[in-house]
Homo-oligomer: A and B are copies of this chain.
Amino acid sequence: MFDMENRRAELLDKIEELILRKQYAQLRSLLLPMEAADIAQLCEELSEEQLPLVFRLLPKELAAEVFVELDSDEQEMLIRGFSNTELKEVLDELYLDDTVDIVEEMPANVVKRILRHSDPDTRKSINEILKYPEDSTGSIMTTEYVDLQKDMTVAAAFKRIRRTGPDKETINICYVIDKNRRLIGLVSIRTLLLADEDAVIEDIMETSIVSVSTLDDQELTARALSKYDFLALPVVDTENRLVGIVTVDDAMDVLQDEVTEDIQLMAAILPSDKPYLKNGIFEIFRARIPWLLLLMISATFTGQIIAKFETALAAFTVLTAYIPMLMDTGGNSGSQASVTVIRGVSLGQIKFSDLPQVVWKETRVSIVCGVVLSAANFVKLMLVDRMLFHNSAVTVPVAATVCATLILTVFCAKLVGCTLPLLAKKIGFDPAVMASPFITTIVDAISLLIYFQFAALLLGI
Contact = CB atoms under 8 A, between A and B. Distances in A.
B276 A344 contact: yes
Interface string A370-384: 001100110010001
Contact of A314 (B161, B275, B317): B317
Interface in A259-274: 259-260, 262-264, 266-269
A177 interface: no
A396 interface: no
Contacts of A216: 1-2
A372 B281 CA distance: 14
A263 B384 CA distance: 34
Nearest to A322: B303
Contact of A344 (B5, B277, B293, B335): B277
Given A171-B193, A229-B249, A263 B343 contact: yes
Assembly stoichiometry (copies): 2
Contacts of A335: 267-268, 436-437
Interface residues of A, number: 125
A260 B161 CA distance: 40
A444 B361 contact: no
Interface stretch (A72-80, A109-117, A348-356): A348-356
Given A5-B348, A212-B1, A226-B252, A302 B281 contact: no
Contact of A325 (B282, B288, B303, B384): B303
Interface string A19-42: 000000000000011111100000
A231 B436 CA distance: 37
Nearest to A212: B1
A292 interface: yes
Given A35-B228, A281-B364, A292 B333 contact: yes
B329 A269 contact: no
Specify the main secondary structure of chain A where it touches its partner: helix
12 contacts: A2-B216, A172-B231, A262-B263, A263-B266, A263-B343, A267-B339, A277-B358, A289-B369, A292-B369, A292-B373, A293-B372, A332-B437
6 closest Cβ contacts across the A-B interface? A267-B339, A33-B208, A299-B325, A229-B249, A302-B324, A303-B321
Interface of A: 1-2, 5, 32-37, 158, 161-162, 165-166, 171-172, 189-190, 193-194, 207-208, 210-213, 216, 220, 224, 226-229, 231, 248-249, 251-253, 255-256, 259-260, 262-264, 266-269, 275-277, 281-282, 284-285, 288-289, 291-293, 295-297, 299-300, 302-304, 306-307, 310-311, 313-314, 317-318, 320-325, 327-329, 331-333, 335-336, 338-341, 343-344, 347-351, 354, 357-358, 361, 364-365, 368-369, 372-373, 376-377, 380, 384, 391, 435-437, 440-441, 444, 448
